């Protein structure tokens, strides 16, 4: 029986929460479609991505409802609505869609802190690495900008339910005070409660309190609260963090190769790709996004040319890492302006760019005869489009490289078992891409050694 069911609005979000569960010893997979979930009955936790972050409210509602019904047929015990750490997307809409399918006394507990990534909530205000949310890059996100830092207000503007608050003063007062205030909010008619927390101890305290109250709960969080609830319910065990997050140069396999697909346009990602590209055995292929934004003859010519370029890079014995990028060294497009100029519907420019990149990757890997140690991808839309094009049905999650930079293996398709690492655009330090690439090499090396021992 599946214990935990999670609905995320993009793939990197899905892997973030899934990896936290996997690290606790809970066997977890993230799937792309409720209609095709090979091996789902083998997993204690199933994470589904709806790719709904950029959808209109009614479309997001329908997507979440479909996945929710599938998870209920899997006899899930506990549900989570995974939200972005920078609050992008229709949070309230998707909370409502899940609550509609749950018992009438279910409480949506919004605990959005991810302290290990320096994301906290204090006084209802979202702080990202010591910066107010609306003063971060997310305020200028090309598809889903967020300009409201006070999260109770943000969610209240999207949900049909009354929103209450559990403030930091109460959390600091301890379990008895927390349970008293939660019961008061419920009595006041609140069905959504936004909770302050600035440490994992606070997150665990709230989780324990909810379980002690015996509430039917919808967890609404980026991952840590879901993890804490699993522990409070006796699922899995806490694991100490022994991951390394520092590296200055890549440590490749002698004849191996890691392919990096960079679709995120954030300044954080650009710095990380720059740091990786400084290594001698790294090749960079830049695809001008304007040339592939239209699904036309010129775009197809560019796809063919870049496929040949990628195949040559993969086959070059002097190269161990190839970076295929559309937003690091290439011009960053104003997608809304492009869509207006080219008479495209909203969201189509981004979708076309991701599709073209996926076609380049698929065609090159299909012709290449070498060994792929791993795929490292930035940007949830880029990642899911690329993996789907490779025939993948999902990802079996294993561990994180750093929080929000997640390691797994492809489920389904010709590349089943291949290691993959996905990272959100605003996550990590300068050397994160190097650390991730090295992890792909290390995992692949260990897998080969295990096979040799078995033989």
Per-residue pLDDT tens digits for 246-295: 676 887 766 689 999 998 878 888 999 999 999 999 999 999 999 999 98
Per residue in 196-210, pLDDT (tens digit) is 999 999 999 999 999
User: Mean pLDDT across the stretch 2-12?
Assistant: 93
What secondary structure does DSSP assign to 163-226, as a single string? EEEE-HHHHHH-HHHHHHHHHHHHHTT-SEEEE-BSSHHHHHHHHHHHHHHT--EEEEESSHHH
Q: Indicate whether 155 pLDDT > 50.
A: yes
Cα distance between residue 265 and residue 63, in whole Å: 26
Which of the four pLDDT bands, split at 50, 70 and 90, describes residue 107? very high
CB 60 within 8 A of CB 90: yes
User: Mean pLDDT across the stretch 70-78?
Assistant: 94
Q: Indicate whether 453 pLDDT > 70.
A: no
pLDDT at 238: 86
Per residue in 221-236, pLDDT (tens digit) is 999 999 999 999 999 9
Q: Indicate whether 116 pLDDT > 80.
A: yes
Angle between helices 91-99 and 57-73 (to 10 degrees): 40
Cα distance between residue 311 and residue 52, in whole Å: 33
Q: Which two tokens stand for residue 43?
A: 């997993």
User: Mean pLDDT across the stretch 355-370?
Assistant: 96
Which of the four pLDDT bands, split at 50, 70 and 90, describes residue 451? low
Report, at the CATH architecture level, how domain 257-454 is classified.
Answer: 3-Layer(aba) Sandwich (3.40)
Domain boundaries, the chain: 4-232, 257-454
Q: Name the burial class of residue 113, with classes exposed (0-12), middle (13-18) and buried (19+) by CB atoms within 10 angstroms of its CB.
A: buried
Which of the four pLDDT bands, split at 50, 70 and 90, describes residue 426? confident
pLDDT at 244: 58
pLDDT at 111: 98
> Which are the contacts of 294, defined by CB distance < 8 A and separation ≥ 6?
342, 344, 352
Is CATH 3.30.450.150 the right assignment for the domain spanning 4-232?
Answer: no
Per residue in 303-337, pLDDT (tens digit) is 999 999 999 999 999 999 999 999 888 877 888 89
User: Mean pLDDT across the stretch 45-63?
Assistant: 95
For the chain, what percent of residues have pLDDT higher than 90?
80
User: Mean pLDDT across the stretch 17-23?
Assistant: 96
CB 82 within 8 A of CB 223: yes
pLDDT at 455: 44
Q: By three-state DSSP, how is residue 405 classified?
A: strand
pLDDT at 253: 64
Cα distance between residue 390 and residue 375, in whole Å: 11
CA geometry: angle 174, 176, 178, nearest 5 deg: 65
Q: Which two tokens stand for residue 140?
A: 């200028």
Distance, CA of 3 to chain centre: 21
Q: Indicate whether 35 pLDDT > 80.
A: yes
User: Mean pLDDT across the stretch 110-133?
Assistant: 96
pLDDT at 245: 61
Q: Indicate whether 95 pLDDT > 70.
A: yes
Which of the four pLDDT bands, split at 50, 70 and 90, describes residue 242? low
Cα distance between residue 94 and residue 77, in whole Å: 19
Q: Indicate whether 102 pLDDT > 70.
A: yes
Q: Indicate whether 418 pLDDT > 70.
A: yes
Mean pLDDT (the chain, rounded) = 93
pLDDT at 255: 67
């Amino acid at each position: 029986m599946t214990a935990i069911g999670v609905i995320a609005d993009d793939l990197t979000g899905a892997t973030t929460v899934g990896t936290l569960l996997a690290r606790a010893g809970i066997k977890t997979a993230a799937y792309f479609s409720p209609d095709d979930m090979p091996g789902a009955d083998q997993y204690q936790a199933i994470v589904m991505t709806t790719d709904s972050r950029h959808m209109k409210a009614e479309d997001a509602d329908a997507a979440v409802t479909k996945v929710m019904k599938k998870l209920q047929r899997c006899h899930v015990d506990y549900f989570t609505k995974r939200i972005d750490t920078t609050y992008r997307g229709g949070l309230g809409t998707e909370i409502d869609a899940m609550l509609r399918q749950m018992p009438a006394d279910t409480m949506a507990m919004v605990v959005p802190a991810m302290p290990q990534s320096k994301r906290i909530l204090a006084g209802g205000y979202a702080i990202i690495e010591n910066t107010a949310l609306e003063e971060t890059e997310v305020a200028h996100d090309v598809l889903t900008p967020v300009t409201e830092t006070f999260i109770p207000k943000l969610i209240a503007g999207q949900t049909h339910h009354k929103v209450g608050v559990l403030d930091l003063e109460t959390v600091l007062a301890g379990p008895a005070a927390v349970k008293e205030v939660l019961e008061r909010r419920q009595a006041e008619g609140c069905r959504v409660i936004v909770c302050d927390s600035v440490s994992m101890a606070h997150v665990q305290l709230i989780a324990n309190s909810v379980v002690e109250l015996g509430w039917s709960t919808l967890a609404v969080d980026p991952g840590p609260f879901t993890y804490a609830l699993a522990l409070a319910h006796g699922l899995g065990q806490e694991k100490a963090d022994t991951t390394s997050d520092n590296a200055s140069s890549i440590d490749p396999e002698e004849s191996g190769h890691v392919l990096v697909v960079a679709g995120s346009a954030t300044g954080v990602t650009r710095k990380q790709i720059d740091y990786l590209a400084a290594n001698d055995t790294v090749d960079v292929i830049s695809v001008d996004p304007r040339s592939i934004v239209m699904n036309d003859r010129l775009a197809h010519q560019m796809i063919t040319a870049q496929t040949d370029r990628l195949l040559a890079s993969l086959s070059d014995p002097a190269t161990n890492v190839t970076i295929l990028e559309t937003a690091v060294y290439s011009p960053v497009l104003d997608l809304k302006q492009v869509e207006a100029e080219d008479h495209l519907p909203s969201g189509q420019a981004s979708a076309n760019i991701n599709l073209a990149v996926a076609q380049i990757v698929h065609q090159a890997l299909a012709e290449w005869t070498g060994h792929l140690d791993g795929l490292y991808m930035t940007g949830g839309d880029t990642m899911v489009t690329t993996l789907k094009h490779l025939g993948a049905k999902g990802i079996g999650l294993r561990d994180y490289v750093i929080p929000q930079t997640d390691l797994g293996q492809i489920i389904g398709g010709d590349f089943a078992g291949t290691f993959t690492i996905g990272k959100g655009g605003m996550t990590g330090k300068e050397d994160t891409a190097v650390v991730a690439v090295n992890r792909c090499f290390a995992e692949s090396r260990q897998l080969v050694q295990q096979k040799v021992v078995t033989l």
